Amino acid sequence: MELSWSEYPKFKRVHKRTAFSKNLVTAIILIATWISGVSCVQASDQPPETSFKELVDKMPSTKLKNLSKVVTDLEQESDPRLLPLFESLVEGKLYFVRSDKAVIMLNQELDDGKAFRATQVLDQTTIERIAKSDIKKIRVNNKLRKQLRKAIAKLTLFSEDPNQRLAAVEKLMSDLNSENIALLKSAKESEQNNAVLEKMNLALNIALLDSNDKSIQKQAVKTLSGELHPSVRSRLNVILEQNANGEYIEDDKQLIALAESALVKIDGKLEFYGFIERVFFGLSLGSVLLLAAIGLSITFGVMGVINMAHGELLMLGAYTTYVIQTLMPNHIGLSIIIAIPAAFIVCGLVGIAIERGIIQFLKGRPLETLLATFGLSLILQQAVRSIFSPLNRQVSTPEWMSGALQINPGLALTYNRLYIIIFSLIVFAVLLLVMKKTALGLYVRAVSQNRDMAKAVGIRSDWVDAMTFGLGSGIAGVAGVALSQLTNVGPNLGQAYIIDSFMVVVFGGVGNLWGTLVGAFSLGVVNKFLEPVTGAVLAQILVLVFIVLFIQKRPRGLFPQKGRSAE
């Protein structure tokens, strides 16, 4: 159909709009095609990503020799589940369920190893109970463990927790290869924590000891002089050994001299801290002797009774701790706290029963009292064997008493011994307040100084004897609680401490609390310094000989008791 001249302008406008629309649509299509093409090109340039889930699912079916490749691929994943996965694998706690091949991490052993509480790796859900027969372990070898430890160190080196970063640096120090050195330098640039920075600088300086540049080695030796870390000492010894093998020329004598000087300085520091450590162990032994002897000192001083069953009261206190912990298996820390008053009450009541049932009828006859209490000790031992069996029982140490206070690489103080020292001093202070500030303490001092005069002023000496014996026995029970954290609990536990307790009482002064304190810590420290030289048995013999000679000069001990009865 042809247009008239009058319709042509209208057609021209419509045609222009239609052409513009077509061109706009074409441009949009071209732009969209270009964007999608660029995206496709970019996507094709990137390697296909293997997900964390796919790699974890591979682990149950992968052979041990190929598992290293899976671990290497997992290292490339930035997933928060990666660290606990690697830690469980290196600790031998990574398993998979036989039925569905789900990978799990074991958390807690149940029913003596017949079942476990576990966590699924992928969804982090907790499995409250799974039988051992339903799971199978993902095995690792030493080569894979080494790879895993390096991977864990890398993961923790950039952790937000400074303690994890510190531990990571420590792990990398055992293998300061070029890759680990580069990793430490990279982490050091962003590190803000002073303790971590100090450890990183130490590691990097240790690495410089292996430099081929002698000037760098000399500077590193100067910087590390006096450092107590074991790696420093071992690397300095390597330098000296290389010199002994003739691998160094005359020009290296300065380096050797610096290394020898640094080792002398390190050995001097280690010897000093070794001395402090021996003093600490001596004080910990003395604190046990203090708790064991302090009750004996009171009863011996007030009643003049040689109680050979005192060691069995320590044993009863330790068994009280074991029983309470058995009743509270999920509250180990709380059970130890509860065991302290419980052991005091149990052993205190047993002590009162011994005094009322035996001791009061043998007053003034020390030899018969000694024989009677010795026979009683055998009866108590056999009773414990019949109830708990002759086998030793282990009392678990609560988490807050486990581990050690690491002051430096040359000195570590174990928490259990540190707490026992503090605990023994608290018991001593409380007993001192009881003896000085209470009516019972006043009566005990009066009876111990002059029994006849105390009776004359109306003090019931029989009641004082019973309470004193109960107090001393209760403190022995508390000592048993402390001993349960240092050794196994058994029927013969008290026999190892009864002789030492008597030596402390005689050496310090019968009935004198301060004498017992000084005597216990003195004998404990002396024992620990003699043991490395003479051995444990000969050390005790030498201490016994010393005390025998000492009481020849001072028969009443370091701090003799005052009063007419003491004379």
Q: pLDDT for 380-407, tens place per residue?
A: 999 999 998 888 888 888 888 888 888 8
Q: Is residue 520 part of a domain?
A: no
Find the domain containing 320 and state its range. Answer: 284-399+413-493
Q: Which residue has the tokens 């303690």?
A: 163
pLDDT, residue 240, reads: 79
| C-alpha distances in Å from residue 404, one per residue of 167, 196, 272, 412, 413 | 15, 20, 19, 6, 5
Q: Is residue 299 part of a domain?
A: yes
More confident residue, 303 or 410: 410
Residue 105 DSSP symbol: E
Q: Is residue 544 part of a domain?
A: no
CA distance 239 to 144: 31
Residue 347 half-sphere exposure, CB side, CA atoms within 13 Å?
33
Q: pLDDT for 79-98, tens place per residue?
A: 778 888 888 888 888 899 88
Q: pLDDT for 169-178, tens place per residue?
A: 887 777 777 7
| pTM greater than the 0.85 cutoff | no
The whole-chain average pLDDT of the chain stands at 80
Residue where one domain finishes, among candidates 493, 521, 543 = 493
CA distance 243 to 255: 10
Q: Quick check: 157 pLDDT over 60?
A: yes
Instruction: Identify whether residues 101 and 243 lie together within a single domain.
Output: no
Q: Is residue 513 part of a domain?
A: no
Q: pLDDT for 328-382, tens place per residue?
A: 888 888 888 999 999 999 999 999 999 888 888 887 787 888 888 889 989 999 9
What is the 3-class SS of 504-522, one letter each residue? HHHHHCCCCHHHHHHHHHH
Instruction: Identify whether residues 296 and 242 lie together within a single domain.
Output: no
**What is the identity of the amino acid at 445?**
R
Instruction: Identify whether residues 476 and 344 lie together within a single domain.
Output: yes
Q: What is the DSSP string of 7-45?
A: THHHHHHHHHHHHHHHHHHHHHHHHHHHHHHHHHHHHHH
Instruction: Identify whether residues 69 and 127 lie together within a single domain.
Output: yes
Instruction: Identify whether residues 289 and 218 lie together within a single domain.
Output: no
> Strand 94-97 vs strand 411-414: parallel, antiparallel, or unpaired?
unpaired
**What is the identity of the amino acid at 180?**
N
Instruction: Identify whether residues 457 and 322 lie together within a single domain.
Output: yes
Residue where one domain finishes, among candidates 128, 143, 158 = 143
Residue 487 DSSP symbol: S
Instruction: Identify whether residues 77 and 207 lie together within a single domain.
Output: no
CA distance 102 to 95: 8
Contact between 473 and 347 (Cβ < 8 Å): yes
Instruction: Identify whether residues 72 and 209 lie together within a single domain.
Output: no
Contact between 201 and 231 (Cβ < 8 Å): no
Residue where one domain finishes, among candidates 446, 468, 493 = 493
The total number of structural domains that make up the chain: 3
Contact between 565 and 450 (Cβ < 8 Å): yes
Instruction: Identify whether residues 73 and 182 lie together within a single domain.
Output: no
Instruction: Identify whether residues 304 and 211 lie together within a single domain.
Output: no
More confident residue, 175 or 521: 521
Instruction: Identify whether residues 242 and 297 lie together within a single domain.
Output: no
Q: Is residue 185 part of a domain?
A: yes
